[in-house]
Structure 1
Amino acid sequence: MSKHVTSGHSRSTLTKTQKFSIAGVATLGAAALAFSIVPGSSEAQTEALGTHSAAWSVPVDAQQSVSKQQSNASKQAKDAAAAKAAADKKAAADAAAKKKADAEAAKKKAEADRKAKETASRAAARKPVYANNLDGWIRQSLDIMKSKGIPGSYDGLHRNIMRESTGNPNAKNGWDINAINGTPSIGLLQVIQPTFDAYHVSGTSTNIYDPVANITAAANYAADRYGSIDNVNGAY
């Protein structure tokens, strides 16, 4: 009975030792098995390390990108400032040029106005003043006739005037054939109304009794019919 107990006690001790041995071997085996089961585990570790290293390089690249963006923004700001300065300079130059051109134009206009006034003043000074008498009427009529290309002389006008009306601008014939027909001869050169209207010279009065208008219309009629008032020596 005691032999049986001793034998049982010995088996129990051996079993405990074996358990420790088996546990150690199992641990080592599991580790070996893990390394053998996962292929390329060393490469995976290397890649993991590489990834870890790459993860540290990201902030450096980002910093370089930000620095580049800041540099570009600074350059753009400088370019914009330079463009604005150039535009402002051009605008100032254009404004100065316009101001100068306006001043020159105003100066030229003032000079042109001054010359026009001087010309008008000289023309007014040269404009003849005609006496309000037969001599003045004839001379004024002659100047108008000359400007219109109507021939005639002072003598030819004076001679015919004296024969027709003796120099009276209000003379009116109430007895000849024209008067009988209702169109009496009127004025210095005794012109009937239809003839006066037909040969009236622009720039003169439309009143048949006006001495200058009467003389000029009669001379215009005589030039058309006889070549010139100088060729008239009687009733015409």
Structure 2
Amino acid sequence: MTQIVLQPQRGFDRDLFERRIRDLAAERGRLDIIEAGCGRRWSLRLDDVDYRLTGIDTDEAALRARREQANDLDEWIVGDLRTTELGKETRDVVYCAFVLEHVEGARQALDRFTEALRPGGYLILRIPDRDSVYGFLTRVTPFRVHVLYRRWVTGYKDAGKPGHEPYPTAYDPEISRRGIQKYCDEHGLKIVDEYGSDFYLSEMGRWRLLIGPMVKLVGLLSFGRLSPRHNNLSFVIQKT
């Protein structure tokens, strides 16, 4: 497997996703987009694109906040990504950012996404890599540690409250670079774009002086099984 390309700047993947969606809209006109695990806000800027947006989330509190504050969903569904019927070849884009690591049975959700996409449509994924040092440490630490980390290291004071991150993690085998590549090979999907990032370090402020060297040490002790160079992965995957 080739070495992953690190994103050159923060927000690079968002610009990439927006460009891919705009190109698809230029071909098709109005797009039907699903945001799977939509949470409280929509991170893409698509003011110049004609699209219909459906949001799906199991967290009713977060979905209610999204409806009341952003009011940018044409349709909203409180449902499980593994079982919610999305239709067969009815969507042009499925966007799912930092959700599948929380799903036990992520493959079932990926199956739903793949079934819902029209040929030529895009599955846009952002996931943490379970085979990175960051992913490994997240998997082996208790959930309460994740809450404390978000509150005291990243400064997110509402962490752990209803409708707010973080959420318990599952980290199925598919939630990795190898897992996504294997899934795409098995289902005839084409990875159009793939990048990694390590921007989580920049969010730590002075803590990075302690955590950065620790991440490198764990990577060395893993003898190459865990990557210290990135934590998050971004994919644009096309249904052929």
When normalised by structure 1's length, the TM-score is 0.19
Greater relative contact order (Cα < 8 A, sep 6+): 2
Q: Between Structure 1 and Structure 2, whose CA radius of gyration is higher?
A: 1
TM-score (norm 2): 0.19
More helix by share: 1
